[in-house]
Structure 1
Amino acid sequence: MNPHHMPNTMRHVMSESNDLKAVKRALLSVTDKTGLVEFAGTLARHGVELISTGGTAKVLREAGLSVKDISELTGFPEMLDGRVKTLHPKVHGGLLHRRSDPAHVAAVNEHEILPIDMVVVNLYAFEKTAAKPGVHFEEIIENIDIGGPSMLRSAAKNFEDVAVVPDPKDYADLAAELDANAGSLSAATRWKLARKAFATTAAYDSAIASTLDALPAEPGSVEKTTELPVTLRIVAPRKTSLRYGENPHQAAAVYTDGTELGIANAAQLQGKELSYNNLVDLDACWALASEFEATVVAIIKHTNPCGVGQGTTVAEAYARALEADPVSAFGGVIGVNRVVDGVAAAEMAKLFVEAIVAPGFTDEAKAAFAAKKNLRLLELKPAPLVDRIKQISGGFLVQNEDFHPITAADVKIVTERHPTPDEMEALLFSWKVCKHVKSNAIVYARLKDGFGQSVGIGAGQMSRVDAARFGAMKAALPLEGTVAASDAFFPFADGLETVAKAGATAVIQPGGSVRDAEVIEAANKLGVAMVLTGVRHFRHG
């Protein structure tokens, strides 16, 4: 907003950064109790009267602080299982009346409404609740906060007189300012807090609307629909700024959906600051590793897998993944769908990699990695599949996540020779890997000691034949007896002939080309087994 177009009062408040207002009475009602007692202690030290609700009041009393229940302020008990406790004129009148307006002051005095100078409120953890596996519809609805957003909005609207604190991360700075100003806060601080409060309620309402949009039209079910939202809502608080984007001249930041799940919310256990490219690669790496039920390690370079391996242990799976392309693995990122133990960590620590993501790391693994100070270790909680959003000039593209599991029972064998059991298992393994390779994509794979292993990966080629040639060229392991997966159909027989010439004995592909018969005939002549999935896995970015 152009300052010249602001209302006079707003220009006045923003310009008078030293306009201090004392905090004499504060209402505290929080879901996240992080730092609560320490901040409330600072308020109490400055003589602030503390008013609180339910569990928040209990925590403060147990810490030895004097607290007045909200019912003492309102003269009305909390009721309806806590649904109604702060929705009262003595709360919102105390927040909304303008101290400089004689009519407002007279009205609150007439009705014995006490001023409330600070609201410390954070909201029910709606996003976390909605994201829980097996969550019930009633639990989702019950975690829609009503009183909290109402107080935040009232306090933020009257920021000239009231400080609103929606985020525990601000407690330390506010405590320091209160100490420096004998219990007062500046106009600049109140204005900054107000903007954060409105951003908080906007994001919260957006999360509720988006979650409910994804549920069936009839109430009661939590089964997500595949129907895309009528209105696309993208509201996410910035988690942290990054040093730069894909390149040093690009600014970048990471934003969170508030669920504490997935790559954006992973805990970094050690290492340098994460970069934009690290996060993109880690997301691709985790998506591939979590595709499998068996123990899998995936090594990614520039969002494409360079090695994927299965095993009975993480160490075995890592050895197979690294063996597939040890050159490209240098400087890549690693994704593991199991807790990383000390044995696996000792092997991984021998290779220079940028980052490793897994559901957890044992103490032995952390000790093995500790010497590699720059290595980034990320521990994450898996996130459910979500719609994919891509920005284009003038708008956005949205699609469902590419989730379409294929089993041996789902494929159609179209050649005279059928795949052997080992070939079929390798085909299904290669198909899952191929889904995560940029198009055009060809993946060569094999079974080694009964476990899937990529052998050569041709990614991002303009021609399917080139993808087949490039995948063969990249192979560090023998191609003879491998299988091959193609993310889309072979438009001509030449692609099939290329993978057969490289050494593949069986192929998995979607089918659907007008020349399927020609391709199948070529496979029969070459003695190659071929199965069709009827599903395409293009990945354009």
Structure 2
Amino acid sequence: MAKWALVSVFDKRGVAEFCRRLVEAGYGILSTGGTAKHLEENGLAVTRVEDYTGFPEMLDGRVKTLHPRIHGGLLGIRDNPAHEASMAEHQIDPIDVVVVNLYPFEATIARPGVTFEEAVEMIDIGGPSMLRAAAKNHRFCAPVVDPDDYPWVADALSRPSGLSDRERLRLAQKVFAVTARYDQLITSYLSEHLVTEGWPETLNISVVHRQALRYGENPHQAAHFYADIDPSPASIAAAQQLQGKELSFNNIQDADAALNMLRAFDDLGRAAVVAVKHMNPCGIGLGDTLDDAFARAYESDPVSIFGGIIACNRPLDGPLAERLAGMFLEIIIAPAFTDAARAELARKKNVRLLTVDMKEPQWRPGDKVYRRVSGGLLVQEVDRAVAADWQVVTRRQPTDEERTALAFAWRVVKFVKSNAIVLATAEGTTGIGAGQMNRVGAAKIAIEQAGPRAAASVLASDAFFPMRDTVDAAAAAGIKAIIQPGGSIKDADSIAAADEHGIAMVFTGERHFLH
């Protein structure tokens, strides 16, 4: 009997060269429609599926491989005498390799303005059916769904021993991972058309194993890192590590937090540096150069930056690298490092250098934030809100300089764990109070950290003031402008306190809790 490879792909990347190697290894090529034409144009002899089955493609190509001669060849167990007899009786040849990838449903639904009918037409039927059949029968039929696997599969099939049992299992597992994600995308898309809010009734999440971690948040907790199948190039999952120890669980969390904070200043067109410790900013600075921005971030809290993470939105050069090399840091993130910076930081062999593509959006449309709780999952939209409709609620109006500083402080405070208070100038943070059980406590920490600089700073609060004590504390420190959401039943008390102290206070109408 012939040794067949069935090839039917939407993504034709590398398939002609792969099939050429299959032919050299003794396989005949069965193929369909556009794939057959592509292979023939590349000089390969192809047997068309309709010629093999005796049944034409029909219904605009919806039916072409759904035939007993195809699926019998995929599913027949070669060491089962009853299967062998049945296949021989019905002239079914065994199919030894299936090379299939799927209609681009995900890319289709991501297109602006795509119609429901267009999306449904991109739901593949024959492809998943063939792949799942081959994956089920992987002992005899090798399923190849990923073009990146073509080279090593071709090498293995060229060996006298062929694919090993483990290699076949690896291919089968990948098929079910791909089809599971495919079904998940379809399920979510159809569910969105059943609910007015656009939230699916069933949520399926597919991620792939990226690496085993030394441990989790603590040494007694085992941990692994899983990433989206196609992460944004601007995400921490797509970061490239240039040097340093392997990233830990806490490193990844902190690096992601630093990147989130840094990207909040993209639209300002200025150099920005973020210093992070335990997922909270300990300093954020802006400047005309990275040196200026780093100086302001460092001055915010030169103690907490020890053992922290630095993220920069410009390529990092030698002079700043020399300064960073003199500090104990866990990670430095930048879009690039100059040769001089690499040479300087190579002296600190344990510090991890990460590059991230900061030209791309970090979050994609529809991205959600997930938080596991016992027995379930909390899902929410990404906090992209930027206050646009400020309301000055005090007699005193903020000056132009204070408005700029308030806007900066408001960008920062949403990245600080609640209860959160941020003191800042227009160029950088001066004091940060994070994660306190009461708001005035957070204010006192931020004011103490700022010291004499508090009098030249504005104050931002992630949520409203339940009483006037925070305003009184700000006034005692010499602060003259405050930004907060408003919305407390005691707003009048805070406004009165601000008026008594000559403080300008702005309500944003939206809060930024970060629990």
Shorter-chain TM-score: which interval? 0.7 to 0.9
Q: TM-score normalised to the size of structure 2?
A: 0.84
Match in the other structure for 2:263: 290
Match in the other structure for 2:248: 275
Letter in 2 for 1:152: L
Q: How many residues align?
A: 502
Answer whether contact 1:341 1:365 (CA < 8 A) is retained: no
Work out the CA distance in 2 between the residues paired with 1:56 and 1:364: 46
Work out the CA distance in 2 between the residues paired with 1:343 and 1:70: 62
Gaps spanning 5+ residues in structure 2: where?
none
User: Per-residue deviation at 1:107?
Assistant: 4.8
User: Per-residue deviation at 1:85?
Assistant: 4.8
Instruction: Identify the range of structure 1 (292-301 vs 136-145) with the bigger mean alpha-carbon deviation.
Output: 136-145
Alignment of 1:238-249 (within 5 A): 238-249=209-220
Answer whether contact 1:510 1:535 (CA < 8 A) is retained: yes
User: Per-residue deviation at 1:69?
Assistant: 5.1
Match in the other structure for 2:305: 329
Answer whether contact 1:357 1:377 (CA < 8 A) is retained: yes
Helix, strand or coil at the partner of 2:410: helix
Alignment of 1:115-134 (within 5 A): 115-124=94-103, 126-127=105-106, 130=109, 134=112
Q: 1:427 to 1:80 in 2, by over 3 A?
A: farther
User: Per-residue deviation at 1:507?
Assistant: 0.6
Gaps spanning 5+ residues in structure 1: where?
1-21, 219-224
> 1:173-219 CA distances to partner (integer Å, 9 max, x unpaired)?
65565455x143344543453333223211221123224444x559x
Answer whether contact 1:318 1:344 (CA < 8 A) is retained: no
Instruction: Identify the range of structure 1 (47-56 vs 228-237) with the bigger mean alpha-carbon deviation.
Output: 47-56
Work out the CA distance in 2 between the residues paired with 1:146 and 1:156: 16
Q: 1:432 to 1:352 in 2, by over 3 A?
A: same
Alignment of 1:89-488 (within 5 A): 89-101=68-80, 104-109=83-88, 111-124=90-103, 126-127=105-106, 130=109, 134=112, 136-137=114-115, 141=120, 143-167=122-146, 174=153, 178=157, 182-214=160-192, 227-261=198-232, 262-263=234-235, 265-271=237-243, 272-292=245-265, 293-294=267-268, 295=270, 296-336=272-312, 338-340=313-315, 342=317, 346=321, 349-350=324-325, 351-358=327-334, 360-361=335-336, 367=342, 371=346, 373-374=349-350, 375-380=352-357, 381=360, 382-384=362-364, 386-407=367-388, 410-447=389-426, 452-475=427-450, 478-488=453-463
User: Per-residue deviation at 1:228?
Assistant: 3.3
> 1:339-398 CA distances to partner (integer Å, 9 max, x unpaired)?
52547864675454333445x327658756773554231324422262222111121222
Match in the other structure for 1:7: none
Match in the other structure for 1:13: none
Q: 1:231 to 1:239 in 2, by over 3 A?
A: same
Helix, strand or coil at the partner of 2:372: strand
Instruction: Calculate the aligned-residue CA RMSD, in Å.
Output: 3.5
Letter in 2 for 1:317: A
Work out the CA distance in 2 between the residues paired with 1:315 and 1:32: 46
Q: 1:40 to 1:535 in 2, by over 3 A?
A: same
User: Per-residue deviation at 1:235?
Assistant: 2.6
> 1:64-94 CA distances to partner (integer Å, 9 max, x unpaired)?
7665555554556767776555444443232
> 1:417-464 CA distances to partner (integer Å, 9 max, x unpaired)?
1111211121121111101100110000112xxxx3111111111121
Helix, strand or coil at the partner of 2:207: coil
Q: TM-score normalised to the size of structure 1?
A: 0.80
User: Per-residue deviation at 1:171?
Assistant: 5.4
Of 502, 511, 515, 1:527 maps to 502
User: Per-residue deviation at 1:165?
Assistant: 2.8
Answer whether contact 2:443 2:474 (CA < 8 A) is retained: yes
> 1:266-306 CA distances to partner (integer Å, 9 max, x unpaired)?
14141232221122112212222222311333221111011
Instruction: Identify the range of structure 1 (200-209 vs 259-268) with the bigger mean alpha-carbon deviation.
Output: 259-268
Answer whether contact 2:318 2:338 (CA < 8 A) is retained: no
